[in-house]
Chain A
Amino acid sequence: MRYAQRGYLLLLNGMALLAAIMLVWLMVAVVLSVVIRNLGLQPSAWFFLSTEYAMFYLTLLGAPWLVRQKGHVHIELLTSVLPPAALNILSRGVSLLCVVVCGVLAWKGLDLVLLNIERTDYDVRAFFVPKWILTIVFPISFSLMAIEFGRFVVGHEILHSGEAGIKE
């Protein structure tokens, strides 16, 4: 059990690290392709394409980690005025809603990946990229998000602080 837990954390943080590397890659790729172009040479179209894909990958790869960090903003209209007991119930209910939504998206995301493989779909841009290589992050990311929201349903801690603002 301890190993499973540690492996899970490694996956969660590893995905966030990958997202961070992709963010830095955005800068590197744009600078390189502009400089190469201005030297009169031909930058590969992969530079451009990789930035577009990186936007998609990094958003989904980092999203579960951000749930754990409580970094997804919400409006504290109701949560800041409720007494602690009511807040406890509401907050766990909201987290459960998030689990359901992420669960549905993970399940349908998996369907989408299988469909992409079955149909051998390609994403058609400067290159033809097999679609499943991209959509595969849907089931992974939304599953992990469901687990992370799940921790706020049953865990010791709840999602909402009851105070206005994010506590860091």
Chain B
Amino acid sequence: MEWYFALAFLLSLILIFMAIGTPIALAFLAANVIGAWHFMGGQTGILQMLNNGFGALSSFNLVPIPLFLLMGELFFRTGLGMKMFNAIDQLMGKVPGRLSYVTVVGGTAFSTLSGSSMGSTALMGSLLVPEMERRGYKKKMAIGPILGTGGLAIIIPPSALAVLLATLAKVDIGALLIAGILPGLTLAGFYIATIFIQTKLDPQAAPNYELEPVPLSAKLKLIVTDILPMLSVMVIIVTLMLIGFATPSEAAAFGALGVIILAFIFRCMTWEAFNLSVTGALKVTLMAYLIVFGSATFSQLLGFSGASGGLIGWATSFDLSPILMLLAMFAVLLVLGTFMEQISIMMLTVPIFFPLAQALGFDLVWFGIVVLLALEISFSTPPLGLLLFVMKGVAPAGTTMREIYSAAIPYILCSMLLVAVLIVFPSLATWLPSMLQ
């Protein structure tokens, strides 16, 4: 079968199943059963698919996500979260959309300690969306910034995905990690500007309730009792990582433990809160990981059938100017990223894209950042970005996929804008590594 037939066949299977309302995980599994039967030789193909699914799930790389979810749920169910948000609300006074800004700052900070977009989105989503909705924020004001900053986790170091990309592409790992810092912070800046514009265009998007002016002494007390404790958990985790006590993946477990200890100290740890937290974390984990089970195998089918390889070969076969070649590669990453899992995409595209980028005269560290941005964007691109489903899992009941999609779009545009900025000012990525080496 020609690659474009294989591609059209597999993609139409998955899209049709999803469109008729098949649960996402089952849509993947259904497409896999048919695809494996067709491309992998009938019944043995399905055995292979089950084996592949086992391989994809039994991996330590997936461990941080349930732990971050547990941490977020505990923080929220024990009431620690509400205390902290009350405090921030009062401290920031009248700034419209203040909790959205807090989301960006908190999400960016959290991205620096987590290398996992899914974990970061899950944590921030379960922590903030219900709380902000309760306070009268429109959903887009909570969901959008979280999806945006969730993606930052792979751009801002530490980032396991960046390490893997650098290893596959034989680019200096340290340089690629450092190169992500300034673009990551710039992106966070774009997000803040987006919130500012959104609150200007739609003043109803964020609540505009009046608050009693709070005296300084009360403010200090709020900081000490309601904000510092949680902040200290974050600081302790980062410190544990920096001194080599635990790896970034292991740090998530200490985050969850930290919140449990904190809840005991503040006497808000109840059996019910623990129970609800574990159940909540379990639900989202199950939902997301059955999708991982399905989509990992689907990626492999796209590879095995020659569909994704053919697409990559075709898109890079034209003799175009460097800038158009870059856009072609970017587009391929976005298309693949919609259906495939990130590590598979890197393994497929790196051997073709990086030599090509070198031939076109691109700086490879800079190009690596563009690739990471493309992967990050595709992770939250409608209709199939995995982060969107994670968000759906943690958002309050009644949140629709459409609301999530429309919340994501301004933040995807921010990332696109950043890519444009990187093309015009490559030094945004290359300057910091060159300074430090």
On A, residues with C-beta under 8 Å from B are 16, 19-20, 23-24, 26-27, 30-31, 34, 38, 48, 51-53, 55-56, 58-59, 62-63, 65-66, 69, 71-80, 90-91, 93-94, 97-98, 101-102, 104-105, 108-109, 111-112, 115, 134-135, 138, 159-160, 163-168
Contact = CB atoms under 8 A, between A and B. Distances in A.
Given A27-B67, A59-B290, A160-B21, A75 B401 contact: yes
B58 A53 contact: yes
B286 A63 contact: yes
A168 B60 CA distance: 31
Interface of B: 17-27, 29-30, 33, 43, 46-47, 50-51, 54, 57-60, 62-63, 66-67, 70, 245-246, 250, 252-254, 256-257, 278-279, 281-283, 285-287, 289-290, 293, 383, 389, 392-393, 397-402
A68 to B, nearest CB: 12
A53 B50 CA distance: 15
Contact of A26 (B27, B67, B383): B67
24 contacts: A16-B282, A20-B279, A20-B282, A24-B278, A30-B63, A34-B253, A53-B58, A58-B285, A58-B286, A63-B286, A63-B290, A66-B290, A71-B283, A74-B27, A76-B21, A77-B18, A78-B21, A93-B20, A101-B29, A104-B46, A112-B50, A134-B58, A164-B398, A165-B400
B60 A52 contact: yes
A73 B387 CA distance: 12
Contacts of A166: 392, 397-398
A51 B29 CA distance: 24
Given A56-B54, A135-B50, 8 more contacts: A20-B278, A23-B66, A23-B282, A26-B67, A27-B256, A56-B58, A66-B287, A97-B17
A104 to B, nearest CB: 6
Given A66-B283, A115-B47, A165-B399, A73 B245 contact: no
A24 to B, nearest CB: 6
B107 to A, nearest CB: 22
Contacts of A163: 398
A59 B21 CA distance: 22
A149 to B, nearest CB: 8
Main secondary structure of the interface of B (DSSP, over half): helix
Contact of B22 (A16, A56, A97): A97
Contact of A55 (B57, B252, B393): B57
A71 B398 contact: no
A165 B139 CA distance: 13
Question: Among A30, A51, A80, which residue has the most Cβ atoms of chain B within 10 A?
Answer: A30
B21 A90 contact: yes
A73 B21 contact: no
A65 B399 CA distance: 22
Given A30-B63, A51-B60, A108-B46, A72 B401 contact: no
B9 to A, nearest CB: 17
B286 A19 contact: yes
Contacts of B22: 74, 94, 97-98
Given A66-B287, A74-B21, A94-B21, A27 B57 contact: no
Contacts of A101: 26, 29-30, 33
Given A48-B60, A63-B286, A109 B50 contact: yes
A97 B398 CA distance: 25
A69 B397 CA distance: 13
Contacts of B66: 23, 26, 58
Contacts of A93: 20
